[in-house]
């Protein structure tokens, strides 16, 4: 993960350039471009797809591990029982889920209705 972070940090961002290039797509579905690429850019692009697939798989596996479950026990609010993470047993949402939720934005919040609004 650290090597992916280092390579990504050294590579140039194509975010702004991609917006301009979308308007240049030809009838064959390609953008004919000429550009100068640094060695760091080529190294990043060469492995970007594989790295992203591995990262996505890791994220899905972590989410699968860190899911809420009823902690059992007595509660005065039966409509909202106390939940704990089924993997680490922290009170739900656990630190792992919170970190992922903060990193990936509200998409995880919407996927889990048991997540409190303040998380």
- pLDDT of 109 reads 54
- Rounded distance, CA 107 to CA 100, Å? 10
User: CB atoms < 10 A from the CB of 63, how many?
Assistant: 17
Q: How far apart are the first and last CA of the chain?
A: 26
Specify the range with the lowest mean pLDDT, choosing from 2-6, 16-20, 113-117.
113-117
Residues 20-45 have pLDDT tens digits of: 888 889 999 998 888 888 898 888 88
**Predicted model pTM:** 0.61
pLDDT band (50, 70, 90) for residue 119: very low
| Helix or strand holding residue 83 (H, E) | strand 83-85
Per-residue burial over 100-109, b = 16 or more CB atoms within 10 Å of its CB, e = otherwise = bbeeeeeebb
Q: Where are the alpha helices (DSSP H) in the chain?
A: 2-10, 15-22, 39-65, 95-104, 106-111
User: CB atoms < 10 A from the CB of 23, how many?
Assistant: 7
Query: Which neighbouring-strand residues pair with 70?
Result: 83
Residues 33-81 have pLDDT tens digits of: 888 888 988 888 888 888 888 988 898 898 889 999 887 766 677 777 8
- Rounded distance, CA 107 to CA 119, Å? 13
């Amino acid at each position: 993960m650290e090597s992916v972070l280092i390579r990504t940090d050294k590579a140039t961002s194509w975010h702004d350039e991609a917006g301009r290039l979308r308007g240049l797509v030809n009838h064959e579905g390609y953008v004919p471009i000429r550009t100068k690429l640094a060695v760091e850019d080529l190294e990043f692009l060469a492995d970007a797809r594989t790295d992203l697939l591995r990262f996505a798989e890791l994220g899905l596996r972590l989410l699968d591990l860190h899911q809420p479950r009823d902690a059992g026990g007595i509660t005065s609010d039966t409509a909202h029982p106390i939940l704990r993470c089924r993997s680490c047993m922290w009170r739900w949402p656990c630190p792992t889920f919170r970190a992922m939720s903060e990193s990936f934005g509200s998409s995880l919040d919407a996927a889990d209705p048991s997540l409190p609004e303040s998380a």
